[in-house]
Amino acid sequence: MGHGEALRLHCREYGRYREGRPSLLLLHGLLGSSVNWHTIARRLEGEYHLLVPDLRNHGRSPHHAECGYPAMAADLVRLLDDHGLEQVIPVGHSMGGKAAMWLALHHPEGVARLVVVDVAPAAYPNRFAPIFRALGQLELERLADREEARRRLGRDLGDPALREYLLQNLVYEGGGWRWRMNLSALSRGIDRIVGFPDVAEWVQYPGEVLFLHGGNSGYLRPGHQGTIRRLFPSARLRMIPGAGHWVYAERPGPFLDGLSPFLSPAV
């Protein structure tokens, strides 16, 4: 099929393809990368074939001015075609969960079942302005080393875990420091990323869907239930106690305990 403006994503691959068992497609969140899923992918690679891409404007994937979910889903369709995969099970966290939902709603033939991690098909407040401001003010050309970056980010971003998450994107190449993610495009497009595009009233994904969410997160709220049921009538929700927004990183064991039974019918 033609892919138009779809980008060829950088992708990590784990495990080997097994006939009759859909591959897993692990999708990271905003300002993350495929690296975020490495621990979970290693835990699953003995049983599944996994594709773990960097979404557009993140990691080693190409940069582009467009950063909405239809464009992200088009990239994923191209990725599946490039790997000769007819169906996958997307497992998407936060922004990656929204991309996975859009893929399932508009390309349902390619989605065997769907896992959405700690996000709803809804708009959220934009709380990223301080993060983009701190990253943009870092003055990479004057940066001596990674420790200096860590120290300077600490002036504006008090959460050490958040700083380390962001610093995974800082690389030294060609004699200087740079961010792997496309900060300018992402900051300009942040309203589309924290939002979710309108979906035609007749569009639904009829397959099985699991929403895994952190008990301490607050990203999945009772007010989201109506939209979830309308778009995903077969959805089920499972809460991971003691987990915040980064469910799979904070509580990998309970996360896998919740995920594995949902995957097993596809085995």
Query: Please, what's the b/e burial string for 230-261 (b: 16 or more CB within 10 A of its CB; e: otherwise)?
Result: ebbeebeebbbeebbbbbbbbbeebbeebbee
User: What's the total number of domains in the chain?
Assistant: 2
pLDDT, residue 4, reads 63
pLDDT per residue as tens digits for the range 2-42: 466 899 999 999 999 988 899 999 999 999 999 999 999 99
Whether residue 54 is found in the same domain as residue 173 = no
Domain end: 188, 203, 236, which one? 188
108 and 209 within one domain? yes
Residues 36 and 150 both lie in one domain: no
pLDDT value, residue 266? 45
Mean pLDDT of the chain: 94
Per-residue pLDDT, 3 = 61
84 and 141: one domain? no
Residues 117 and 207 in one domain: yes
Q: Residues 90, 164: one domain? A: no
Mean pLDDT of 136-143: 90
SS3 per-residue string spanning 126-191: CCCHHHHHHHHCCCHHHCCCHHHHHHHHCCCCCCHHHHHHHHCCEEEECCEEEECCCHHHHHHCHH
Burial class (CB in 10 A: 0-12, 13-18, 19+), 200: exposed
In this structure, the answer to whether residues 112 and 218 fall within a common structural domain is yes
1 found inside a domain? no
3-state secondary structure at position 36 = helix
Total-model pTM: 0.95
CATH no. for residue 73? 3.40.50.1820
Q: Which of 149, 170, 188 finishes a domain?
A: 188
Do residues 133 and 165 share a domain? Answer: yes
- Tell me, yes or no, whether 133 and 252 share the same domain: no
Longest dimension (CA), the chain: 55
Cα-to-chain-centroid distance, residue 41: 14
Structure tokens given for 230:
């309308």
Q: What is the pLDDT of residue 174?
A: 86
Model pLDDT for residues 236-261, shown as the tens digit of each residue: 999 999 999 999 999 999 999 999 99
Q: Does residue 4 lie within any of the structural domains? A: no
| Residue at 144 is within a domain | yes
The backbone torsions φ and ψ at residue 194, rounded to the nearest 5 degrees and listed phi first, read: -75, -15
Domain contains 262: yes
Q: What is the DSSP letter of 223?
A: G
Same domain, residue pair 209 and 249: yes
Residues 37-76: tens digit of each pLDDT: 999 999 999 999 999 999 999 999 999 999 999 999 999 9
Residues 72 and 141 in one domain: no
Q: Is there a domain that residue 6 lies in? A: no
CB 22 within 8 A of CB 88: yes
The answer as to whether 248 is a domain residue is: yes
Q: Are 88 and 186 in contact (CB under 8 A)?
A: no
Q: Calculate what percentage of the chain has a pLDDT beyond 90.
A: 89
- Tell me whether residue 5 is in a domain: no
| pLDDT at residue 2, rounded to an integer | 47
Domain that includes residue 230, residue range: 11-124+195-266
- Select from 167, 188, 209 the last residue of a domain: 188
Q: Is residue 107 part of a domain?
A: yes
Residues 111 and 77 in one domain: yes
Residue 265 confidence (pLDDT) = 63
Query: In this predicted model, what pLDDT tens digit does every residue of 208-232 receive, in sequence order?
Result: 999 999 999 999 999 999 999 999 9
